[in-house]
A and B are shown apart, each in its own frame.
Chain A
Amino acid sequence: MLEIIKKTLRTGCQTIKYPQVPDIAPEGFRGKPEFAAEKCTYCGNCIKVCPPGVIWLCEQKGEKRLSLSCCGCIFCGRCEEVCTAGAIKLTLEYELCAKKKEDLLSSIRSKS
């Protein structure tokens, strides 16, 4: 019993002050993938390799729209791996809670 009390006192408080103090993910973390609109060539490589199929391209009224839904994304980073233009990258962002599925959608557009 004495040992347990000693160990408990020595360990102290282990919880961190998140979310009051932001907890930043380490370098190389597999977080929310983000597009860089200016670099994207709309080649479609990321669409082909995405295992859960959450990246897609729409063409409408002379406009191309590339969308990605974090709802279903497994953060494998295959899109980043195959993108020769460096237009999609996994970020350190992990706070991905949303009330609506649409809020998990990110898109970029370009005139074709």
Chain B
Amino acid sequence: MNNEIIEKIKKDLHDNILEESRSHNEIYFTVKKGSIVKLCDHIYYHLDLPLVSIFATDERKIDGSFKIHYVFSMDRNDAFIILRIKVDSKESSYPSITPKIASANWYEREMQDMFGLVPLGHPDPRRLMNFEDWPEEIHPLRKDFDIKTKPPRVKGEYIYRHVDGEGVYEIPVGPVHAGVIEPGHFRFSVAGEPIINLEIRHFYTHKGVEKLFENISIDKAVFLAERVSGDNSVAHVVAFCQAMEKIALINVPLRAIYIRTILLELERIYNHLADIAGIATDVAFAFGAAHANKLKEEVLQLNEQITGSRMLRGMNAIGGVRRDIGDKKNMILQKLSNIQRDFRKLMEHLTSTPSLMDRIENTGRIYNDIAKGLHVVGPVGRASGLDRDTRRDHPYAAYKELNFKVPIQKAGDVLSRTIVRADEICESVALIEQALWALPEGEIRVHLDRIPDGQALGYTEAPRGETIYWIRTIGNRIERCKVRDPSFCNWLAIEYAVLDNIVPDFPIINKSLSLSYSGNDM
């Protein structure tokens, strides 16, 4: 870690720092509550560090206060700066940073619902996760809320944004959809066919995952992390395990690290293939969809042969992996090479089909400034020119030892996102090949009985983008586990991506963003 930069930041924050602590690549600064807007503004704009997560902890039992953590990522130095403020439980309010930093929007509303901490000056202080029939003053992530509580239903109303004007119509879609997908409400305001406003509303199936983490033993929590977001299983469980391994200060055996890398990349390949298939489906290009889906199925069957699970589940554990896959090396190499050959041909077909290209070029543009402002992550961000990839910026697993490129596109339309995904599939195949050739001999797991007290960040680049876990353990159980799924950042981008597009293009735009309902609504 570059100490000069840290010293410079300390100089910039000077007398606002009350306390400083470091662990691994995380630097925690406890700062004065009143100065948080100024400090975040300075770090975000002046030092140009992206805000990757905000979360609260209930520490009323220790010092009668809540703490709010603002996590900034130092991409160029592989470190995280975490500003922490103390919010007195009697006041329960703090200054909102959303007017300055747009990407803080949902985090602050989430904390308002889950902890009852009010962001003063928030431009949109409506409820986010607690619906209108949820009683006020009941905040599920507070420590005094018992997990078995069934609060009574109350009357309430949710007010949507409203667009008025001659010839402006509203089209409400959902929360129940025609396809077998999860629930979400989309409210379009249209003048003719072009969309002039979209408001999304989610969180219909809130599962209370973060509360559940606090109420189960750590060995069982591994399997919960694996199921937070169905098709990003490996990315979630690896992020969880890495945070735990950081807390426990254990070195995961090299062989396990390489196996994890292979699993993470297999997950990326099948997700990206599914997205490309989905885009072909949504423009009614059945040939492309059939072939992309066939390739995806081949990867799923390969997954099953390697791990016994099509979704690569049950492989990861704290301290390593549970099964060795080294004996299947030749089979994996053979199959992947066939899949890659077929995929390259398929992409040639897709990009030379005018009926497809016409629909996806210039459709659903997310401009670079919007993407940056909303902190759009993953392939969607990279298609809008944001050159960020956790695998390269905060190397984990075996990524430091392997060579790969991070594909970037600038146009930010559906085509760019498709190209980024296609390029990433080829990079992933190359990564798996490298990892298999370099697979070191040795153990695949270290066993540990107890996780010591501590706190740490775990992070991975899921197929959808940066996934971040922050875990605090006390007495061999989880005191707080904050999960930041990439979709939590990317969902708001859809409100911008559809503007000036026609309603029939909405499904393609939605698919090209590849948003998760389940990962978003934990």
Query: CB within 8 Å of B: which residues of A?
Result: 3-4, 7-8, 11, 14, 25-26, 28-30, 49, 51, 74-78, 81, 90
Contact = CB atoms under 8 A, between A and B. Distances in A.
Contacts of A3: 349, 352
Contacts of B291: 7, 11
A70 to B, nearest CB: 15
A30 B314 contact: yes
A25 B304 contact: yes
Given A4-B349, A29-B304, A74 B219 contact: no
Contacts of B219: 49, 78
Contacts of A4: 287, 349
Given A8-B287, A11-B291, A51-B224, A75 B314 contact: yes
User: Helix, strand, loop or mixed for chain B's interface?
Assistant: helix
Given A14-B294, A29-B304, A51 B314 contact: no
B236 interface: no
Contacts of B216: 51
A11 B287 CA distance: 11
17 contacts: A3-B352, A4-B287, A7-B349, A25-B304, A26-B308, A28-B308, A30-B308, A30-B313, A51-B220, A51-B223, A74-B227, A74-B313, A75-B314, A76-B313, A76-B314, A77-B308, A77-B314
Scoring B220, B304, B305 by chain A CB atoms within 10 A of each residue's CB, the highest score goes to B220
Nearest to B297: A14
A81 B313 CA distance: 15
Contact of B223 (A8, A30, A76): A76
B392 to A, nearest CB: 32
Given A51-B220, A74-B223, A76-B313, A29 B349 contact: no
Given A30-B309, A75-B314, A77-B322, 6 more contacts: A3-B352, A7-B291, A28-B308, A51-B220, A51-B224, A78-B223
Interface in B349-392: 349, 352
B124 to A, nearest CB: 38
B304 A75 contact: no
A83 B291 CA distance: 43
A56 to B, nearest CB: 16
Contacts of A7: 287, 291, 345, 349
A106 B307 CA distance: 25
A25 B309 CA distance: 10
Contacts of B511: none
Interface string B284-306: 00010001001000000000110
Contacts of A29: 304, 308
Cβ-closest 3 pairs across A and B:
A30-B308, A51-B220, A51-B223
A78 B305 CA distance: 19
Interface in B124-160: none
The CB with the most chain A CB atoms within 10 A, among B307, B313, B314, is that of B314
B323 interface: yes
B304 A26 contact: yes
A81 B223 contact: no
A34 to B, nearest CB: 15
Contacts of A8: 287
Contacts of B323: 28
Interface in B200-231: 216, 219-220, 223-224, 227
A6 B224 CA distance: 46
Nearest to B342: A11
A92 to B, nearest CB: 10
Interface in B312-352: 313-314, 322-323, 345, 349, 352
Contacts of A77: 308, 314, 322
Nearest to B345: A7
A76 to B, nearest CB: 5
Nearest to A8: B287
A57 B304 CA distance: 32
A82 B14 CA distance: 53
Contacts of A81: 322
Contacts of B287: 4, 7-8
Nearest to A74: B223
A11 B304 CA distance: 23
Nearest to A77: B314
A44 to B, nearest CB: 15
A14 B296 CA distance: 13
Contact of B305 (A11, A26, A30, A75): A26
Nearest to A50: B220
A34 B446 CA distance: 28
Contacts of A78: 219, 223
A25 B305 CA distance: 8
A15 to B, nearest CB: 10
Contacts of B220: 49, 51
A25 B287 CA distance: 29
Contacts of B307: 28
